[in-house]
Structure 1
Amino acid sequence: MTSMFPPRRLLAVAAALALFGGQVPAGQAAPAARSAPDPADQSCPLGSFHCAPRPLNYAMCRPNALLEFYDPALSQDSSQRATAPANVTAQHVDSSDQSVYHLSGDVLLQRADQQLQADTLDYNDTTTDYDARGNVRYQEAGQLLAASHLSGNTNASRGVADDVRYQMLQSRGNGVARQGQMLDAERTRYSMATYSTCDVGHHVWEFRAKSISIDKASGVGVARDATMRIGKVPFLYLPYFTFPTDDRRKSGFLYPTLGNTSRAGFQISTPYYLNLAPNYDATLDPRYYSRRGPLLAGEFRYLVPGSGGQLNVEYVPDDRGKSDGLADTTGKSRYLVNFSDRTALWDGWRFTGTYNHVSDASYLYDYGNAMSQKPVYNLRSGAAISGGGKWWDASFGATTYENTNPFATDSSLPYRQLPYALFSAEVPLTRWLQTGVDTSAVIFRKPGYVEGQREDLYPYLSADFGSAAWFVRPRLAWRYTAYQLEDGYQDYGRSGRLTGTATSPFTEQSPTRSLPIVSLDSGLMFDRSTSLFGTHYTQTLEPRLYYLYVPYRDQGNLPLFDTNLMSFDYWQLFSTNQFSGADRQMDANNVTAALTTRLLDNDGVERLSASIGQIRYLSRQRVLGTDWTGSAYVAQLDLQVNDHWRVNSSWQWSPNSRAVEAATFGLQRRLGDAGIVNLAYHYRRGRLEQYSASAVYPLSDKWRLFGAWAFAPAIETNYELPRGTVDAMLGVEYDSCCVTLRLVGRNYVNQSYYGTKPIPGTNTNQRDNAVMFEIVFKGLGSTGGQIDPLLRRDILGYQ
């Protein structure tokens, strides 16, 4: 027998009785419990240095792990509930009482995406009381619910369900409860309840709580007397904890981090998050290190109109360990402060500031995370006001540095810039002609070294002629650099350090340098259709000529504030200066000839790129101190035959030394959808030679191995670089339907970490070890994600 009830009633409350219930957007696709993302669609392109994290993979879950009454034909559109009629079928309907309906025998009620089934159902249309008994089953777009008994009042949004089984179709949460109570439209309470994101009936982990309360208005759940279990074994007891039921932030404990390092020993971190307001929050992170004692860390973030920033503080009341560096820190209090702010001032202008400070140079060495952080040689602090317009940019500020290398003195720090001013502009004059200027004014400070101020003015005029087949780009510039050195400049040696001898190169207090810089860049681009191994390509041939003229100026009396000679590579063939900074400008009367060819497939993807070039010196290079007729030949090759193989290499061969000056080689091979192998070689004559390998190797759908290894053979060098194995990392990952486990160990050399000569009295040759364990409960969180940064850094293409 079929009947129809008013659409505003009857099924309005059933959805709220699921443990973590909620509606889904209209037209939502099939539930997540029955599907999983295709890992192949998430693969990172070969050669990418930064790969986006993959979404949680539920491929190991059973494809039909749903409560047995799930009806896939039911509508997924929840937006029609308010207007859709409620259709009722039952074997028997008694409506002798005009306001009370008694239904029995395979009762089925449907409205839009909602469906309720029971053996019997009583419904009072006047009071809106309802009572469903016997094999009660409820389904909607976002969840499933089964109970032995369901009763309540629709108008009061109140109800009770006994012997509950539930399943969330979008978030994968499922579990059971002895009883569920709907207190009102926003609040529910469950007794003797469980929760897990594992397959129904196959819980690898779950929470069991004496009571769980849900407040939809605040998005907060509260569990009391709760135990987390792995299998049947309880391993974590929480008398009281809160958790989010939606995407809103809330206060509560974050998941702990466990690890071990050579310098700090076993460590545990138990952070607590404070959701203070919608626009600011904080995190307190008490930690304990077995070799060093307790540490309290804190983070505060704020976002106000026009401004945002972050403050991080770490404090050690009493360090019980020892440091390998120059300073003795045993028994002392130690700390770290990091602060950053960005504030909009007025139209087009902003303030940016950073303040970084540690109690001593060994702090980051002793307390830094050896799994996820790169070495930090110094901390930079600064403040600047910057702005810009359509054709110009300007900034004014100051920068200081603090030494964080425990094996080096403050003499290793860069010069402080107190203050600096920068201005640059580029103004188009016509469609093909533009003019511009780059300027800077800086005061450089460094105790024990020559100090002073420098102004650098660099105006230019450039043009750009060409089409898709050719280009000609002339450029005329003038560079004027002026110094004002502090008194006593005669007492500093060539390195800029105080010597007190008469060998100082600084013969003027206000030296200057002025010279023109003229360049002409030109090239042609040819293309043709070709075929290789049965595949059609477009091949290009791109010859390029570059001429550079810079007259010689004697710069021996100029200090070196922020300038270094850069490593020579392919792009230096077309550079106006091989020095960074403004203290040195190379002279040049050079012609660069280069040739590039590419292979593009029918989709426009570059499958091959090969280039070779050399600089021919028409006159002797006096600033660089060479009398060669030509630079090293520089070649580079990038080859990606398909989406699984990639090779890249570069090579420099000098006709002057008749030797290879530098070489790199990299091979990348993707293994299925979850694995990758990298092989690399780096060489620079007299300075560096290193072999490295890294891989993520899938043993099965559930197991993956990952590792990285770097090896340096002995070579003649001016630096005491490490020999043998420099860095080794090995780890294993187990992935299942609802949990992922990772264990990683790392062994590395301190001296490689800092790259400095050994200092007497320091232990720079000691090897360090670090071990980290991470467990990810899918759909719930992880222990802190400390392993991913290491794997991303050491394994190219890791996801």
Structure 2
Amino acid sequence: MPDLNRAAWRRCRPPLPLAVLSLALLHAHAAWAQEAALDAPLVLKRTPQLTEVIPENLRGRMPSFVDGDRISGQPDLGTIVEGNATLRRGDTLIRADRLEYYQPEDRARATGNVHVNHAGNIYEGPELELKLETFEGFFNRVRYQFLANGGRGDAERVDFIDSNVSIARMATYTTCRPEDYPGWMPAWLLKARTITADTEENVGVATSAQITFMGISTPPFPSLSFPLSNDRKSGVLPPVIGIDSVNGFEVTAPYYWNIAPNRDATLYPTLMSKRGINLGTEFRYLEPTYSGEIRADYMPEDRLRDRDRWGIWTHHEQRFDAKALGLDSLTGSLSINRVSDDDYWRDFTRTPSLTQRLLANDGILRWSSGDWSGTARALSYQTLQYAPSPILPPYDRLPQITADYNKYDWNGFDFSLNTDYSRFRGPGPLVQKELAGYVQPDGERVFGLASLSRPFLTPGTFVIPKVMLNATAYQFDAPLTTNGATSATRVVPTFSLDSGMIFERDANYFGRAFRQTLEPRAFYVYTPYRNQNDLPNYDSAANDFSFATVYTENAFSGNDRISDSNLLTLGVTSRLIDPETGAEAARFGVAQRLRFADQLVTLPNGTPVTDRFSDILLGAQINWTPKWSVDGTVQYNPDEHNSTRTAISARYSPGPYRTISAAYRYQADSTSTSNDGSKSIDVGWQWPINDLWGDYGKDLGPGRGQGGGRWYAVGRLNYSLQDSKLTDGVLGLEYDGCCWIGRVVVERITTGQITASTRIMFQLELVGFASVGSSPARTLTQNIQRYTPLRQPGLAPSRFTNYD
């Protein structure tokens, strides 16, 4: 503060003595701190006594608490507790009728109704000897229960090696909960000479083991391992068995390798009775700056096709240090999908590419800096041809480089600039002529699109005028067959005006209050005609007529065709909004285009649009409650008085494990004057059969089912009304036996016009132990909307959930 100001302040208020001023400030600060402390919420303090896992270096220094009816002994030598004896140290509790504790040896001996709780794991029996600090000792005639997965059993003796490892001798093991009635026996039981349990690794290993399920026993196994929790572990997984109409009888013997917490690998050799042996492997990794997965399959001498078969599928994501380059972000990704031959998609229907016939091999680098962003990309396709229905391969982009600039609210204006350089490589002239009927050379294309708009916005209206300039330049590797040119340019301007209004009112329907809107919208676009018939078509296609594209400037996707337009789109939307939550309960919309001039720009072999009035687009989506929803779109031709396309779907999901979905789809044949087109019905479901006789189960929480003894029907059927046949289908049954689950699923996949693949999947899942058979989990999840698995991995319970 300058001297003049300091002197003026002194004249207005004489200075206080320094000590008085300091005391006043301290008093004010203490009062403020006390008031702030009263207003601050209470926060629990951390304490090492509540840690989930007690460090080994702290176990020996933790205090021991002894309690009982009668206590005797000598200080620092031994203590004897009789009657309701209890000894607690850290995460270990011992209760017994009699308890002797010898301090020099740190050894406890308990007899009579001994109960031990060690970090939530329970052991009970008549006699125990244990060193508390190292947790070394033995337990005779013991019953035990593990916290992580609820596994339990009994043994003649349990030897504790340390706080994590124990060996049960002449032991049994199951995850079935005991029932309170005479003669109860678990549905499945493991008997073994020894069971070594490692609660740190959450792995159990049984020797001379035999499994009994529903009274049927397996041959003895020299050794087998099983999980004690949902954590991953290395080892041989149970075999996967299935029956396939193409492959025959299938047996897979997978091996899982838990390399590290962020890396793992799976080897899954598969024997197919009709084809041979398929060698498969999958590797996954997750790092702070990159992640990905690699899968590779190889089948030498496939007897079905009389040749070697292979496939590789990889995906990698990478995050780079953008700050070092002066960028905001810099990321990359790499995907490789390749197979040995054209028939791979039909013969191997359960690969990562499923039944896709276009396999993309894509490497891309993305960057952003302020208002700029861009990509550098290389994209190549492998096209799997099928003689009855060949497809035209898309053009490869080797490379593609883009740079985009977006500036919003620049003095009230929004400006954007999109640029793209691509070099296209096609499938060759013979393939083009055979499949498309015309030939175009490979070439380079430079594309730029600049747009400037000025939004005028109010709470109830919007008007957005926009001008666009589209400029494109081509350089061809060979002369065009249409005019012999080796280069071409195109510049197309566009003007559009988007406007609308939003009205609101309070409404009440079916006893429920809503905020109802009425949103009329008008969208006008004018693009003058530019002759583009001689230009090649590398990536353009006609946009589908839908609510997503009806309010756009260009009738084509891609950058090779810019449609000439002089049209007005009119539409109106009404919504029902819950005023308390803001959730949209229903939406209804209608739109139609009015064309003032014929559309002249078309795709190769295309037909220009001359109708002055387009089809009427009707749409509705109803989400009245979270339990059910209806979604429908109808494209109605007012001239023909019929629908050219209809899609209606509905879903009902009243709760977990209960969902039904249905869809009807119709698409008219544009090449035929008749109304016959593609018609199909798609139905999917998961539903407890026990509901039919009033057994509605219990809510046991996510991923735990609804109780034992319940049947579930699962399936999805896609039926073609046009061909009067089932195209794809899944039918199955699931049974939840509480500690075991049985599944039988039949899947049919269409792989061609007259060919299909059918397989039967059987699976027996011993909950918390192992699964035998072919898992239909992936099939059910992909085919049934909101399918809920009867068991899902969850977080391991805390030791305090089973605290004595």
TM over 0.5: same fold? yes
The counterpart of 1:794, out of the listed 777, 783, 794, is 783
Distance 1:27 1:127 in 2: 26
Contact 1:508 1:557 in 2 (8 A): no
Q: How many pairs does the alignment contain?
A: 683
Q: Please name the residue that 1:274 is paired with.
A: 257
Distance 1:631 1:409 in 2: 31
The counterpart of 1:335, out of the listed 306, 310, 322, is 310
The one-letter code of the counterpart of 2:451 is Y
CA change 1:338–1:435 in 2 (3 A) is same
Contact 2:479 2:485 in 1 (8 A): no
Larger Rg: 2
Distance 1:520 1:346 in 2: 42
**Structure 1 range deviating more: 652-661 or 552-561:** 652-661
Distance 2:288 2:202 in 1: 26
Q: CA deviation at 1:376?
A: 0.9
Contact 1:174 1:200 in 2 (8 A): no
Distance 2:299 2:114 in 1: 58
CA change 1:540–1:409 in 2 (3 A) is closer
Distance 1:630 1:445 in 2: 39
Q: CA deviation at 1:140?
A: 5.9
Q: CA deviation at 1:562?
A: 1.6
**Structure 1 range deviating more: 676-685 or 638-647:** 638-647
CA change 1:112–1:233 in 2 (3 A) is same
The counterpart of 1:660, out of the listed 630, 637, 643, is 643
> Which secondary structure state, in structure 1, belongs to the residue aligned with residue 246 of structure 2?
coil
Q: CA deviation at 1:105?
A: 3.8
- CA deviations over 1:298-318 (Å, ceiling 9, x no partner): 122345664433322111112
- CA deviations over 1:420-446 (Å, ceiling 9, x no partner): 112222023526322111121111112
Structure-1-length-normalised TM-score: 0.80
Q: CA deviation at 1:320?
A: 1.5
Instruction: Indicate yes or no: 2:659 matched with 1:676.
Output: yes
Instruction: Indicate yes or no: 2:449 matched with 1:458.
Output: yes
Q: Please name the residue that 2:593 is paired with.
A: 615
Contact 2:346 2:751 in 1 (8 A): no
- CA deviations over 1:325-376 (Å, ceiling 9, x no partner): xxxx22x221112233333444133342222221111123212329x97421
CA change 1:465–1:205 in 2 (3 A) is farther
Instruction: Indicate yes or no: 2:447 matched with 1:471.
Output: no
Q: Please name the residue that 2:138 is paired with.
A: 160
Distance 2:202 2:623 in 1: 49
Q: Counterparts of 1:703-722 in structure 2 under 5 Å?
A: 703-714=711-722, 722=723
Instruction: Indicate yes or no: 2:416 matched with 1:433.
Output: no
The one-letter code of the counterpart of 1:439 is T
> Which secondary structure state, in structure 1, belongs to the residue aligned with residue 530 of structure 2?
coil
Of all paired residues, the percent bearing the same amino acid is: 27
The counterpart of 2:395, out of the listed 415, 424, 432, is 415
CA change 1:247–1:261 in 2 (3 A) is closer
Q: CA deviation at 1:151?
A: 0.6
- CA deviations over 1:739-789 (Å, ceiling 9, x no partner): 2222111234333xxxxxxxxxxxx41333121123333334545884233
Q: Counterparts of 1:547-696 in structure 2 under 5 Å?
A: 547-601=524-578, 602-624=580-602, 625-671=608-654, 673-686=656-669, 687-696=677-686
Distance 1:345 1:598 in 2: 44
Instruction: Indicate yes or no: 2:275 matched with 1:285.
Output: no
Q: CA deviation at 1:672?
A: 5.1
- CA deviations over 1:94-115 (Å, ceiling 9, x no partner): 4268723333344344568754
- CA deviations over 1:34-73 (Å, ceiling 9, x no partner): xxxxxxxxxxxxxxxxxxxxxxxxxxxxxxxxxxxxxxxx
> Which secondary structure state, in structure 2, belongs to the residue aligned with residue 365 of structure 1?
helix
Distance 1:709 1:614 in 2: 34
Distance 1:690 1:409 in 2: 20
Q: CA deviation at 1:184?
A: 3.0
The one-letter code of the counterpart of 1:489 is L
> Which secondary structure state, in structure 2, belongs to the residue aligned with residue 318 of structure 1?
strand
CA change 1:292–1:658 in 2 (3 A) is same
The one-letter code of the counterpart of 1:166 is Y
Distance 2:101 2:446 in 1: 87
The counterpart of 1:86, out of the listed 52, 61, 65, is 65
**Structure 1 range deviating more: 271-280 or 677-686:** 271-280
Q: Counterparts of 1:34-45 in structure 2 under 5 Å?
A: none
**Structure 1 range deviating more: 99-108 or 404-413:** 404-413
Q: Please name the residue that 2:694 is paired with.
A: none
The one-letter code of the counterpart of 1:224 is T
CA change 1:526–1:305 in 2 (3 A) is closer
Q: CA deviation at 1:630?
A: 1.5
Contact 1:671 1:677 in 2 (8 A): no
Distance 2:783 2:483 in 1: 45
Q: Counterparts of 1:376-415 in structure 2 under 5 Å?
A: 376-407=356-387, 412-415=392-395
Contact 1:204 1:231 in 2 (8 A): yes
Distance 2:772 2:485 in 1: 61
Q: Please name the residue that 1:325 is paired with.
A: none
> Which secondary structure state, in structure 1, belongs to the residue aligned with residue 625 of structure 2?
coil
Q: CA deviation at 1:681?
A: 0.9
The counterpart of 1:486, out of the listed 463, 474, 477, is 477
- CA deviations over 1:372-428 (Å, ceiling 9, x no partner): 974211211122332122222211222111123444798632111122112222023
Q: Please name the residue that 2:522 is paired with.
A: 545
Instruction: Indicate yes or no: 2:237 matched with 1:254.
Output: yes
Pairwise CA RMSD of aligned residues? Answer: 2.9
Distance 1:279 1:111 in 2: 35
Q: Please name the residue that 2:744 is paired with.
A: 743
The counterpart of 1:133, out of the listed 102, 111, 114, is 111
The counterpart of 2:97, out of the listed 116, 119, 124, is 119
The one-letter code of the counterpart of 2:583 is V
Q: Please name the residue that 2:279 is paired with.
A: 296
Contact 2:226 2:770 in 1 (8 A): no
Distance 1:420 1:729 in 2: 41
> Which secondary structure state, in structure 2, belongs to the residue aligned with residue 572 of structure 1?
coil
**Structure 1 range deviating more: 209-218 or 131-140:** 209-218
Distance 1:570 1:730 in 2: 35
Instruction: Indicate yes or no: 2:337 matched with 1:356.
Output: yes
User: Per chain length, whose mean CA-contact separation is higher, i.e. which structure has more relative contact order (CA < 8 Å, sep 6+)?
Assistant: 1
Distance 2:364 2:390 in 1: 24
Distance 2:292 2:250 in 1: 29
Distance 1:237 1:395 in 2: 60
Q: CA deviation at 1:541?
A: 0.9
Unaligned runs of 5+ in 2: 1-47, 53-57, 180-184, 323-328, 433-439, 603-607, 670-676, 691-696, 698-709, 789-804
Distance 1:777 1:630 in 2: 63
> Which secondary structure state, in structure 1, belongs to the residue aligned with residue 581 of structure 2?
coil
Q: CA deviation at 1:556?
A: 0.9
- CA deviations over 1:645-677 (Å, ceiling 9, x no partner): 322111111234433111111122235542222
The counterpart of 2:350, out of the listed 355, 363, 369, is 369
Contact 2:242 2:762 in 1 (8 A): yes
Contact 1:506 1:558 in 2 (8 A): no
The counterpart of 2:246, out of the listed 226, 246, 263, is 263
**Structure 1 range deviating more: 412-421 or 227-236:** 227-236
Contact 2:226 2:769 in 1 (8 A): no
Unaligned runs of 5+ in 1: 1-23, 29-78, 322-328, 491-504, 715-721, 752-763
The one-letter code of the counterpart of 1:768 is S
Distance 1:96 1:437 in 2: 89
Instruction: Indicate yes or no: 2:481 matched with 1:520.
Output: no
Distance 2:654 2:287 in 1: 47
Distance 1:508 1:520 in 2: 36
Q: Counterparts of 1:147-186 in structure 2 under 5 Å?
A: 147-186=125-164
CA change 1:657–1:157 in 2 (3 A) is same
CA change 1:543–1:153 in 2 (3 A) is same
Distance 1:313 1:103 in 2: 64
